[in-house]
Amino acid sequence: MQVTRRQALGLSAGAMAFVALGPGLKAARADEAATEKMLMEFTGGKAPASGKITLTAPEIAENGNTVPITVSVESEMTDASYVESVTLLADGNPNPAVATFNFTPMSGEATATTRMRLARTQNVVAVAKMSDGSVFMDKKQVKVTIGGCGG
């Protein structure tokens, strides 16, 4: 195989960039502190209570590319009392914020279904913000298997 001058220069530039930047690179994953920060921003600094919100996720996901998630919140959904928004967070993703769903009293019920991508076993957190300012949280750990093995 014959290497052209362009290929040699390209490989040299790539190798130099890797040597210069390689030690500074780190895994593209959020940490629990980033997830906690986003949680506090969403709740306005309030500690979420348990109850009212139900997060449904598989205990074991055979394919981390499409993990089905359903979140529902018990609420009357009237002008006096309704769910304003629900956010989903995944503490092992590069950006913990996965989705935010906004509701109004005209929504009828506060339920949302989506699919998310999870690269590894991690916690999925659902947080609901109510019209009266209260916040509720539910958390599930989803084990992502790769080739039939837990990860």
Q: What is the model's pLDDT at position 30?
A: 57
CATH number attached to the domain at 28-150: 2.60.40.2470
The domain limits of the chain are 28-150
Q: What is the mean pLDDT of the chain?
A: 87
Residue 106 has which token pair? Answer: 């005209």
Contacts of residue 130, defined as CB under 8 A and 6 or more positions apart, other chains included, come to: 52, 75, 81, 82, 83, 84, 136
Q: Give the pLDDT mean for 112-116.
A: 95
54-80 pLDDT, tens digit per residue, is 999 999 998 889 999 999 999 999 999
- 110 half-sphere exposure, CB direction, 13 A CA radius: 30
Evaluate whether 136 touches 49 at the Cβ level (below 8 Å): yes
